[in-house]
Amino acid sequence: MYNHIMKKEKSHVIGKVIQGSIAMEMGIEPGDLLLRINDNKIEDIFDYQYLVQDEHLDVLVRKKSGEEWLLDIDKDFDEDLGIEFENGLMDDYRSCSNKCIFCFIDQMPKGMRKTLYFKDDDSRLSFLQGNYVTLTNMSDDDIDRILRYHLSPINISFQTTNPSLRCKMLGNRFAGEALKKVDRLCRDGSGIELNGQIVLCKGVNDGTELERSIRDLTRYIPNLQSVSVVPVGLSRFRDGLYPLEPFEVSDAGEVIDLIEAWQKKIYSEHGYHFIHASDEWYFLAGRDFPEADRYDGYLQLENGVGMMRLLIDEFKEGIRDISKERLKELPKIKREFSIATGRLVFPCIMDMANKVMKLAPGITIHVHEIINNFFGERITVSGLLTGGDIIGQLKGKELGDFLYLPENLLRSGEDYLLDDVTVGDIEKALGVEVRISPDSGYDLARELFGIK
């Protein structure tokens, strides 16, 4: 049923209508504007998803002609209308108002693409994309919406539970007070799951302050499922910023010892380990990674917690399966190629390459460690390597028939690196085919052998 009405409303552009959907049957088209559902304003995707569940909907849309239609729709509960929006969030992203002493975006040089300088601090992106939020940008209404719509999990950057120290670290006088919002999220029966992060800065929130934070955060178990501790990343572009120092080998050992002591205590009380040191601490300390079951199901892979343990274990599984399936074929495989990786994981990738070459002597793998000259040698993770460094350091090197680059160099759906150098640019400059290696260790094993 179509009713023509005229009314000024906040609108959301429909980008796609699914074939055979309710929306298509009702005549909704890409480019139309969604205005209201059941006379409720729609601020963002969460309002939409909540309102669209009802069995009876009055959907107000504005056609490209300017005409407004009120569509009377009966459907099954939870049945989707078949609409996708041009802006997936259906609202502007909220930018960060903090002046964190450890912010990596403040350590980036000028002249890079504008999107790299945007600091988000949006609880909705925490739910949708796993981003971490500081709570300083959240109102009481935001907390109400999280509880009402049951947006879970929410990822929180704690840094410290010391209110005054948190204000200093985040450069925001409200940062300490914002911690009280966690109490509301973790109230009895809320069902909201949280994950936490502590960016550790030497001489600031480590040592006794880290111990205090861990102790305080255990109060939020079981809502708070995990907390990662990651070392601050320090680029060479820190002129005029807070004077932070890099962690040394002995520092890393102390951080690990503190965290592992708390893991034992928390596990005995709650049955999971809760607090986790990121892989960088184990690399820096020269220690073996914890066994798989200490990572509680790998809740913080995106924070570099357990990534190497999972990769190593999956790679071993891949090698075992290949040995069972193709052991007689392996000596016949002939191929030569190269792998480029960051300094942090270079030893592990080199060890994997040696295992492959031992099983298949006809395979030659050149593993190249790329130093991050762009951001500085203290930045050792592969995901922050630039195309310029890769080209500059591999020019004239033995590369074989193709070059593998890690998948985390590329942003989702894109083919260019942080410095806007594309995969095609690297191929042209080095005269070699570039392949993107899979994240899965199991798939990586098969890829290196050339077995699909």
Q: What is the pLDDT of residue 105?
A: 85
Give yes or no for residue 224 having a pLDDT over 80: yes
Q: What is the pLDDT of residue 90?
A: 60
Q: What does the angle CA 338 – CA 341 – CA 345 come to, to the nearest 5 degrees? A: 125
Q: What is the pLDDT of residue 175?
A: 94
Query: Which phi and psi angles does 74 have, rounded to 5°?
Result: -110, 135
Give yes or no for residue 170 having a pLDDT over 90: yes
Euclidean distance between CA atoms 345 and 310, whole angstroms: 13
Give yes or no for residue 5 having a pLDDT over 90: no
Helix (H) or strand (E) segment spanning residue 448: helix 441-449
Boundaries of every domain in the chain: 2-85, 105-305, 310-449
Give yes or no for residue 93 having a pLDDT over 70: no
**Minimum mean pLDDT range among 184-193, 262-271, 340-349:** 184-193
Give yes or no for residue 345 having a pLDDT over 80: yes
Class in CATH terms, 310-449 = alpha beta
Q: What is the pLDDT of residue 113?
A: 75
Residue with tokens 């079951």: 293
Q: What is the pLDDT of residue 335?
A: 96
The radius of gyration of the chain's CA atoms, rounded to the nearest angstrom, is: 25
CB 206 within 8 A of CB 200: yes
Q: Helix, strand, coil % (nearest 5) of the chain?
A: 35, 20, 45
Q: What is the pLDDT of residue 92?
A: 62
Is the fold of 105-305 the same as that of 310-449? no
Chain center to CA of 279: 15
Q: What is the pLDDT of residue 234?
A: 95
CATH 2.30.42.10 fits 2-85, yes or no: yes
Q: What is the pLDDT of residue 117?
A: 62
Its CATH architecture, for the domain 105-305, is: Alpha-Beta Barrel (3.20)
Q: What is the pLDDT of residue 94?
A: 59
Q: What is the pLDDT of residue 138?
A: 81
- What average pLDDT score do residues 403-429 get? 90
Q: What is the pLDDT of residue 49?
A: 78
The torsion region of residue 131 among left (phi > 0), alpha (psi -120 to 50) and beta comes to: beta
**Paired tokens of 321:** 């399966």
**191 CB neighbour count, 10 Å cutoff:** 10
Give yes or no for residue 15 having a pLDDT over 50: yes
For the stretch 64-91, pLDDT in tens is 899 999 999 998 887 889 988 887 656 5
**DSSP code for 399:** -
- What average pLDDT score do residues 8-16 get? 78
Give yes or no for residue 233 having a pLDDT over 70: yes
Closest CA to 184 of 176, 197, 194, 170: 194
What average pLDDT is seen over the chain?
A: 90
CB 26 within 8 A of CB 73: yes
Share of the chain above pLDDT 70, in %: 92
Sign of CA dihedral 401, 405, 410, 413: positive
Q: What is the pLDDT of residue 4?
A: 41
Please give the residue that has the higher pLDDT: either 107 or 394.
Answer: 394
- What average pLDDT score do residues 3-27 get? 77
Most confident of 15-24, 104-113, 223-232: 223-232
Helix (H) or strand (E) segment spanning residue 69: strand 68-74
**pLDDT bucket at 141, cuts 50 / 70 / 90:** confident
For the stretch 200-214, pLDDT in tens is 999 999 999 999 999
For the stretch 53-67, pLDDT in tens is 889 999 999 998 999
Give yes or no for residue 448 having a pLDDT over 60: yes
- What average pLDDT score do residues 311-325 get? 96
Give yes or no for residue 127 having a pLDDT over 50: no
Please give the residue that has the higher pLDDT: either 118 or 213.
Answer: 213
Q: What is the pLDDT of residue 294?
A: 97
For the stretch 280-310, pLDDT in tens is 999 999 999 999 999 999 999 989 999 999 9
What residues form DSSP beta bridges with 57? 73
